């Protein structure tokens, strides 16, 4: 084409090249090709060397450089994978460079590489992308590996460049392979730098985890087969959204088989408390067929593999362990005893409550843990049980802690005769004891009782016990202490909580908008009911059996979703807002049925009748006015709720008691005394 004609003008000089010029060009081409081959051979030898050895001292280099970036231009790092273990959907391991080992974790994106067998324990990997993170609970670091590749076959042992010299390290491996009938000596490669003998790469056969487990399962016991086919998950990693999991747990408490009868029908139920080797606990419940199937199988103290169960949020009213979830096992669940497996004794975890805070738990279903110094131990006494007139042993011990308060703990049955006698013999030494799962009652203000699942540890080895013993030896034994029950209102004996241990003004709550952000906080306050809005929704239609909300049925009656049953009648239960006022300010509080009845002096059904009556005098309005400007002592919880993207403080009434003027006077005198001491 005419537009490209200028290109053809350059062709004659090219065709005019002499014969010698042609040889010169070809010579340059051959030289470049030879240099390229030599470079590729050197590069291949370097890569093969890295594939059969670790990068010695690489971990120390990384840790000594705080600004180290794994993506920067630097030599490649090859480490050995040691102690590969599953944790949830990830795997942890120790990165070994021959001189240093460091904890490390693969991200979840690398899990398929491990399951397929590409990355294996004792194999070599090249770290392509990783970060160095801190372990918050310890002053150590770990690698978080986000990208890597396998570069060598699985070795027979850990690489240790410091334990032996190169020659000494190589001899045992040579002897081992020379006597091996499988691999000829001529096919063995020796890495002089590491002293590790490797099999040739072409003989490396990648096996998946399922293939390896399938080969090992043949002669294994049923429980061992379950352990091989499924990863064992720690209890702390479980949640309701996981599908397949297997846990290895010890039965630390077993309940009795109970029969029940409710709106849904009749049946039987029993539960067990399970603990893994990390000390995490969970409660498992079985109903009907599952209860009958597993009741005899679960034995106290034995270890089991459990799978195919389900989890849900724990009902706080009935949970007996510190776990947000509870487990349900059905007829299809798998439970096998780990009889041939290594046994473990789970660590008992405590969540100690200070003695001065026990008033929050009076007559509640939540169990508490306590640690204290033994002040006194009573002789054993016999108490006649009301239900069957049986005589059971009981022993009272008095405990104290750093809050300078004491409380009486009642030991029952075997704890009274066994550990109770041991405590009596050593009471003069003031031992420290930790008790798990105590019930808080209102006898003499506050009292504690052991139950069947309670666990008592004498002189436990823990930071809390050491701190408490040090305090008692230095100052605690010289000071006078008061009983926690002495500061309670008489109303406490009727089941309400302490109204005087943490009294505050309303301004303390309203002026601290961050209260209750992490968890609910509890206070007591004395205030007047200043206003009750008459046109608010003050109640809801409730089931007479379970108190849950009901809806009107299509034909007639009411349907309860909780009971899955239709009823002809329902009851009304309060759910109302009340404004309260004291000398420092005012705030709105939410009040539910039992507390609202104490404020208004009548039930929701009775108030509804007054609201529907017609006459010259509005009895409904009159009843609300009579309830205002009356003084009460309130026990309240403060939490944070989010509404339309904005956080709001919610104050809920947990208890209402009439004002005990004698107790109020004692409280004022105590405040005056404290202020006088502070001013001196």
pLDDT at 334: 92
Q: Which residues contact 227 (CB under 8 A, 6 or more apart)?
A: 246, 248, 305, 338, 341
Give the pLDDT of residue 674: 78
Q: Are 327 and 311 in contact (CB under 8 A)?
A: yes
Q: Is the dihedral of CA 225, 229, 234, 240 positive or negative?
A: negative
Is the overall model pTM greater than 0.85, yes or no?
Answer: no
- Those residues with Cβ within 8 angstroms of residue 31's Cβ, 6 or more apart along the chain or in another chain: none
Position 222 scores a pLDDT of: 52
Q: How many helices (H) and strands (E) does the chain have?
A: 17, 31
Q: Give me the domains of the chain, ranges plus CATH numbers.
A: 58-64+74-152 (2.40.50.140), 235-337 (2.40.50.140), 355-483 (2.40.50.140), 506-669 (2.40.50.140)
pLDDT of residue 41: 67
- pLDDT at residue 346 in the model: 63
Q: Which residues in the chain come in under a pLDDT of 50?
A: 1-2, 4-5, 7-17, 49-50, 70-72, 136-137, 164-214, 216-220, 223, 226-229, 489-497
383-to-144, 191, 408, 456 alpha-carbon distances in Å: 60, 78, 17, 21
Helix axes 619-627, 604-612, angle to 10 degrees: 140
pLDDT at 19: 52
Strand partners, 80: 96, 124
Please list the alpha-helical segments (H only) found in 94-184.
111-115, 166-178
C-alpha pair distances (Å), 584 with each of 50, 299, 509, 587, 629: 75, 59, 10, 10, 16
pLDDT value of position 66: 55
What distance in Å separates the CA atoms of residue 412 and residue 422, rounded to the nearest whole number?
14
Q: Which residues pair with 396 in a beta bridge?
A: 410
């Amino acid at each position: 084409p005419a537009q490209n004609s200028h290109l053809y003008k350059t062709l004659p000089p090219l065709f005019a090249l002499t014969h010698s010029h042609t040889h010169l060009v070809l010579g340059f081409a051959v030289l470049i090709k030879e240099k390229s081959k030599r470079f590729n051979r050197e590069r291949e030898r370097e890569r093969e060397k890295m594939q059969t050895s670790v990068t010695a001292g690489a971990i120390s280099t990384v840790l000594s450089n705080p600004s180290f970036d794994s993506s920067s231009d630097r030599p490649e790092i090859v480490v050995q994978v040691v102690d590969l273990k599953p944790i949830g959907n990830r795997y942890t391991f120790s990165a070994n460079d021959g001189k240093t080992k460091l904890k490390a974790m693969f991200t979840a994106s690398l899990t398929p590489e491990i399951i397929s067998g590409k990355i294996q324990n004792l194999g070599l990997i090249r770290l392509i992308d990783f970060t160095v993170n801190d372990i918050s609970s310890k002053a150590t670091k770990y690698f978080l590996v986000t990208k890597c590749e396998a570069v060598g076959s699985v070795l027979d042992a850990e690489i240790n460049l410091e334990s032996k010299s190169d020659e000494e390290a190589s001899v045992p491996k040579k002897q081992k392979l020379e006597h091996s009938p499988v691999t000829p000596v001529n096919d063995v490669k020796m890495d002089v730098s590491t002293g590790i003998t490797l099999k040739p790469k072409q003989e490396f056969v990648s096996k998946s985890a399922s293939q390896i487990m399938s080969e090992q399962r043949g002669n294994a016991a049923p429980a061992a087969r379950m352990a091989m086919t499924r990863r064992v998950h720690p209890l702390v990693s479980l949640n309701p959204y996981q599908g397949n999991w297997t846990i290895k747990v010890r039965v630390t408490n077993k309940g009795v088989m109970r029969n029940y009868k409710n709106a849904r029908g009749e049946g039987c139920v029993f539960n067990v408390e399970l603990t893994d080797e990390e000390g995490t606990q969970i409660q498992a419940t079985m109903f009907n067929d599952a209860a009958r199937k597993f009741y005899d199988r679960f034995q106290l103290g034995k270890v089991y593999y459990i799978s195919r169960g389900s989890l849900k949020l724990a009902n706080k009213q009935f949970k007996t362990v510190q776990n947000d979830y509870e487990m349900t096992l059905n007829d299809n669940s798998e439970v096998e005893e780990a009889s041939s497996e290594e046994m473990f004794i789970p660590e008992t975890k405590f969540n100690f409550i200070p003695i001065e805070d026990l008033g929050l738990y009076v007559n509640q279903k939540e169990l508490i843990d306590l640690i204290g110094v033994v002040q006194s131990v009573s002789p054993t006494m016999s108490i006649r049980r009301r239900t069957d007139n049986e005589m059971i042993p009981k022993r009272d011990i008095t405990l104290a802690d750093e809050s300078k308060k004491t409380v009486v703990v009642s030991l029952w049955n075997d704890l009274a005769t066994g550990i109770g006698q041991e405590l009596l013999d050593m009471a003069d030494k003031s031992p420290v004891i930790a008790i798990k799962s105590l019930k808080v009652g209102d006898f003499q203000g506050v009292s504690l009782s052991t139950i069947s699942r309670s666990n008592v540890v004498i002189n436990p080895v823990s930071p809390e016990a050491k701190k408490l013993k040090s305090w008692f030896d230095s100052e605690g034994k010289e000071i006078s202490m008061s009983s926690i029950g002495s500061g309670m209102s008489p109303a406490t004996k009727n089941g309400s909580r302490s109204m005087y241990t943490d009294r505050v003004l309303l301004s303390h709550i309203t002026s601290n908008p961050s209260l209750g952000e992490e968890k609910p906080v509890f206070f007591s306050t004395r205030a007047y009911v200043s206003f009750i809005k008459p046109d608010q929704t003050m109640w809801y239609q409730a089931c007479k059996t379970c108190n849950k909300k009901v809806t009107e049925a299509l034909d007639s009656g009411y349907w309860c979703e909780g009971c899955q049953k239709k009823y002809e009648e329902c009851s009304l239960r309060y759910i109302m807002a009340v404004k309260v006022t004291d000398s420092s300010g005012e705030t709105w509080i939410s009040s539910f049925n039992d507390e609202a009845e104490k404020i208004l002096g009548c039930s929701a059904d009775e108030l509804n009748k007054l609201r529907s009556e017609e006459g010259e005098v509005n009895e409904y309005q009159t009843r609300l006015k009579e309830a205002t400007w009356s003084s009460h002592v309130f026990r309240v919880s403060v939490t944070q709720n989010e509404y339309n993207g904005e956080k709001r403080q919610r104050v809920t009434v947990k208890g209402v008691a009439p004002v005990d003027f004698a107790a109020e006077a004692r409280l004022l005198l105590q405040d005056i005394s404290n202020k006088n001491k502070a001013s001196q």
